[in-house]
């Protein structure tokens, strides 16, 4: 057993680049904290993952674009499942305060 960890305390400076911290990795599942400060996914390079991803926005704000459904705004507390093979991208993240995500990758190989 380990001590509790506050995912919103002592956030790293992510102004230069988005920061990914793996919190737990097991066969078929990876949980990570992502800190964004204004980063977006290039329009010509959307994510197209071969596994499901469940995301929870912990702090800040963001907008995601999904192929076939368009853009969706997220605020703290919003969670959604991104099914495998659904093209998507981040179109905006709040820089100050930082945007903090909890991402659970399911079925990742």
Which domains are seen in the chain, by residue range?
19-108 (2.60.120.10)
The pLDDT of residue 108: 83
Q: What pLDDT score was predicted for residue 2?
A: 80
| pLDDT, tens digit (0-9, with 9 covering 90-100), for 3-45 | 888 999 999 999 999 999 999 999 999 999 999 999 999 999 9
Tens digits of residue pLDDT in 36-77: 999 999 999 999 999 999 999 999 999 999 999 999 999 999
What is the mean predicted confidence (pLDDT) over 85-92?
97
The residue length of the chain stands at 109
Q: Please check whether residue 106 is in contact with residue 54, taking contact to mean a CB–CB distance below 8 angstroms.
A: yes
The full 3-state SS of the chain, as one line of letters, equals CCCCCCCCCCCCCCCCCCEEEEEEEECEEEEEEEEECCCCCCCCCCECCCCEEEEEEEECCEEEEECCCEEEEECCCCEEEECCCCCEEEEEECCCCCEEEEEEEEEEC
Using the predicted structure, report yes or no on whether residue 1 has a pLDDT greater than 70. no
Q: Is the pLDDT confidence value at 109 over 80?
A: no
* Four-residue CA torsion sign, 21, 56, 72, 107: positive
* 78, pLDDT greater than 80: yes
């Amino acid at each position: 057993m380990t001590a509790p960890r506050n995912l919103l305390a002592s956030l790293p400076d992510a102004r230069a680049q988005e920061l990914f911290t793996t919190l737990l990795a097991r066969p078929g599942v990876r949980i990570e904290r992502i800190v964004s400060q204004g980063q977006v996914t290039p329009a010509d390079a959307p994510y197209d993952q071969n596994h499901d991803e469940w995301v929870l926005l912990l702090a800040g704000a963001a907008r995601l674009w999904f192929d076939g459904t368009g853009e969706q705004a997220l605020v703290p507390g919003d969670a959604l499942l991104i099914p495998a093979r659904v093209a998507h991208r981040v179109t905006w993240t709040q820089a100050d305060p930082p945007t903090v995500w909890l991402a659970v990758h399911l079925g990742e190989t």
